[in-house]
């Protein structure tokens, strides 16, 4: 009987797959950042801007917080 070999999943395959998942999560973060910016939560919490709120509360470098707001 003919047996079909299972495809080998390489480290590279896993990297590409994981990056696609990360990209989807970052897109969701951008959507949520836009929602945060449109609301008043950041102001109620005493922050000067949505950027500051994301930077502090999500423990992100400023450029990442800015990217989320720009994309969102």
Per-residue pLDDT tens listing for the chain (72 residues): 678 878 899 999 999 999 999 999 999 999 999 999 999 999 999 999 999 999 999 999 989 999 999 998
Tell me, what's the pLDDT at 61? 94
Predicted TM-score (pTM) of the model is 0.84
Q: Is there a contact between 33 and 72 (Cβ–Cβ < 8 Å)?
A: yes
- Integer Cα distance of 62 and 55 in angstroms: 6
pLDDT for the residue 38: 98
Give the span between the Cα atoms of 32 and 57, in whole angstroms. 13
User: Would you state the pLDDT for residue 35?
Assistant: 98
Q: What is the pLDDT of residue 8?
A: 92
Taking a C-beta distance cutoff of 8 angstroms, is the pair 32, 42 a contact? Answer: no
């Amino acid at each position: 009987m003919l047996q079909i070999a299972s495809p080998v999943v390489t480290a590279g395959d896993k990297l590409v797959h994981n990056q696609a998942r990360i990209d989807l999560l970052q897109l969701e973060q951008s959507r949520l950042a836009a929602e945060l910016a449109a609301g008043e939560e950041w102001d109620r919490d005493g922050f000067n801007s949505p950027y500051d709120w994301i930077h502090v509360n999500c423990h992100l470098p400023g450029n990442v917080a800015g990217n989320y707001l720009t994309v969102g």
